[in-house]
Chains A and B, each alone.
Chain A
Amino acid sequence: MTLLDASGIEVVYGPGCPQCVESTGDRAGTNQCHRCGSIVACADADIDVEAGEVLGVVGESGSGKSSLAEALALDRNSEATVDGEVRYAGYDGNLLDADYQTRHDLRTGEIALVHQHIRDGLELDVTGGGNVAEKLLAAGWRSYENVRERVRNLFEETEIPPARMDDPTGTYSGGMQRRVQIARALSTEPDLVVLDEPTTGLDVSVQARVLDTFRRVQREEGVAAIVVSHDLGVVRLLADRTLVMHHGRIVESGLTDRVMEDPHHEYTQTLINSVI
């Protein structure tokens, strides 16, 4: 079953002009429009995700991965103009044009975004438990006991010591904060989780733990995911299929092992050959 079906996604920072798309991209070798100076973070992006599937998005910094991920997660960005069409199973019409209520329902129920920057996703002076509970309350949970129980279960599932539940999130280690983000994302049992650079700022052993936790929960719950990372190892570990982005365009896509071992596009070949 197709869960998310997006086509012609375009994210532009700046005034925008009729030449923006034409003058940028992989062939143009830049993501900046020569006429109006706008940054075309991504354009012409078509993506579909099936239920339970993990899609990887790789590319270097500035290739448009995060902008694309945010657009797909219906995350409003006041500085960018977002065009295209995002359809989601069970919802009518283009969700980029959806009203506040529909978007709120989707963001609290169906689609969860794990931000690259922890500060964008968590309130650090609120307790870890409170950060997760806040999402449950937004989704309509009302009983204190039920919320508390759910948060405790999520902490256990994502391997955060439940004893730390009532400590301020700012006192947690980086790996724990990342797991609070994942716990918060999974709290309302979404069908799709968008993870933006899930290992940023974590050392290797903590990375492995976060990824393994996510992988286990993702498979157990059968939740679909879009995993954005500049780290090919992360995507190789998690993703069934992978997209490669360069200068704001998807230059290649396919089965993850195929993209890694038989890369077709010149940029993908350079990327794969650059791994240390």
Chain B
Amino acid sequence: MTVLSVEGLSKTFDMHVLGDTQVVGLDDVSFDVREGEFLAVVGESGSGKSSLLKCLYRTYDPTAGRVRYRGGDGEIDLASCGDRTVMNLRADAIGYAAQFLDEIPRVPAADVVARPLIEGGQPVARARERARELLSALRVPEELWDAYPATFSGGERQRVNLAQALAPKPGLLLLDEPTSALDPETRRAAIDLLDSYLGDSTTVVGVFHNSGVVEAVADRVVVLDDGQVRAVVPAAEYDGGGLG
């Protein structure tokens, strides 16, 4: 079953502060994502990968096109639905991990990860337990679990961020380079977790720079170039495109 149909998605930024310059982020992007699939989005810096995820999550308002999402309650056009519909979907169906942790002052790492579970209605004790399991699987040192992430290294923060996004096992998970700051060993732990923790009910659209990660986790690959789709290929046929 197709869970996401992106059709002619475009995003243009009107930069009033730059004398009304228009900047094209995405230009007529179309692809489908099947339920439970892991779709990798690759391309050079500035090719529109992050813009694509942000349009799907509605951090950006798409300028044109449709994003047909088939969740629990029938079909919704993510490109045009109201803000409150987006808020509800974010609360229980669509997760997003930015490349860097958007930290909340004075909230310990384990609580950052447990929070979405508690807000989703899980008992606090079980949510904390789950948070600890995830942080452990991502090799975040135990002495950091009750510390504030503001003082963490880039890699540690990124793992807290990834754990937070994975925790509720959303139906659709959008990941923006969730392993960019990790060393190879930790990256492997993250890949193993993506594989083992998320079942077939989670569909992932993830932006990755590292072709090793793409090979390890992706089913198919969307190659973006200058805001346009250059190719959509099975991961096995993807040669890294020189991204190495």
**Chain B residues whose CB sits within 8 angstroms of the CB of A265 once the complex forms:** 16
Cβ of A264 within 8 Å of any chain B Cβ, yes or no, is yes
Of B102-110, B129-137, B154-162, B208-216, the segment with at least 4 beta carbons within 8 Å of chain A is B102-110
The answer to whether B107 touches A258, judged by C-beta atoms less than 8 angstroms apart, is: no
Answer whether A258 and B59 are a contact pair too, CB < 8 Å, given A50-B84, A266-B16, A269-B16.
yes
CB under 8 Å from chain B, chain A span 64-111 = none
The answer to whether B14 touches A264, judged by C-beta atoms less than 8 angstroms apart, is: yes
Of A121-129, A173-181, A205-213, the segment with at least 4 beta carbons within 8 Å of chain B is A205-213
The answer to whether A212 touches B107, judged by C-beta atoms less than 8 angstroms apart, is: yes
Cβ of A145 within 8 Å of any chain B Cβ, yes or no, is no
Cβ of B1 within 8 Å of any chain A Cβ, yes or no, is no
A266 to B20, CA, bound (A): 9
By the criterion of a CB under 8 Å from any partner CB, how many residues of chain A are at the interface? 23
The answer to whether B86 touches A261, judged by C-beta atoms less than 8 angstroms apart, is: no
The answer to whether A254 touches B105, judged by C-beta atoms less than 8 angstroms apart, is: no
**Chain B residues whose CB sits within 8 angstroms of the CB of A269 once the complex forms:** 15-17
Interface size class of B (residues with CB under 8 A): 10 to 19
Out of B54, B60, B83, B105, name the residue touching A212 (CB < 8 Å): B105
The answer to whether B59 touches A208, judged by C-beta atoms less than 8 angstroms apart, is: no
Cβ of A240 within 8 Å of any chain B Cβ, yes or no, is yes
Distance to closest chain A CB from B120 (angstroms)? 12
A209 to B105, CA, bound (A): 8
The answer to whether B60 touches A219, judged by C-beta atoms less than 8 angstroms apart, is: no
CB under 8 Å from chain A, chain B span 46-62 = 54, 58-61
**Chain B residues whose CB sits within 8 angstroms of the CB of A237 once the complex forms:** 104-105
Answer whether A262 and B13 are a contact pair too, CB < 8 Å, given A255-B83, A255-B87.
yes
CB under 8 Å from chain A, chain B span 1-43 = 13-17
The answer to whether B119 touches A212, judged by C-beta atoms less than 8 angstroms apart, is: no
Smallest Cβ-Cβ distance to A265: which chain B residue: B16
Chain B CB count within 10 A is highest, among A209, A254, A262, for A262
The answer to whether B84 touches A270, judged by C-beta atoms less than 8 angstroms apart, is: no
Out of B16, B54, B83, B107, name the residue touching A241 (CB < 8 Å): B83
Cβ of A257 within 8 Å of any chain B Cβ, yes or no, is yes
**Chain B residues whose CB sits within 8 angstroms of the CB of A143 once the complex forms:** none
**Chain B residues whose CB sits within 8 angstroms of the CB of A240 once the complex forms:** 87
Answer whether A261 and B105 are a contact pair too, CB < 8 Å, given A266-B16, A269-B16.
no
The answer to whether B104 touches A255, judged by C-beta atoms less than 8 angstroms apart, is: no
The answer to whether B119 touches A264, judged by C-beta atoms less than 8 angstroms apart, is: no
Smallest Cβ-Cβ distance to A254: which chain B residue: B83
A269 to B107, CA, bound (A): 30
A241 to B17, CA, bound (A): 24
Answer whether A219 and B14 are a contact pair too, CB < 8 Å, given A240-B87, A255-B87, A261-B54.
no
Smallest Cβ-Cβ distance to B14: which chain A residue: A264
Answer whether A266 and B61 are a contact pair too, CB < 8 Å, given A212-B106, A254-B83.
no
The answer to whether B59 touches A209, judged by C-beta atoms less than 8 angstroms apart, is: no
The answer to whether A212 touches B104, judged by C-beta atoms less than 8 angstroms apart, is: yes
Which 9 residue pairs of A and B lie closest in terms of their CB atoms, listed nearest first?
A: A208-B105, A266-B16, A262-B60, A257-B59, A212-B106, A269-B17, A255-B83, A261-B59, A269-B16
> B interface vs A, CB < 8 Å?
13-17, 54, 58-61, 83-84, 86-87, 104-107, 119
Could you list 17 A-B pairs, sorted by A, with CB under 8 Å? A208-B105, A209-B106, A212-B105, A212-B106, A241-B87, A255-B58, A255-B59, A255-B87, A258-B58, A258-B59, A258-B60, A261-B59, A261-B60, A262-B60, A269-B17, A270-B16, A270-B17
> A interface vs B, CB < 8 Å?
50, 53, 208-209, 211-212, 215, 219, 237, 240-241, 254-255, 257-258, 261-262, 264-266, 269-270, 273
Extra inter-chain contacts (13) besides given A254-B83, A269-B16, CB under 8 Å? A209-B106, A211-B105, A212-B104, A237-B104, A241-B83, A255-B86, A255-B87, A261-B54, A261-B60, A262-B54, A262-B60, A266-B16, A269-B17
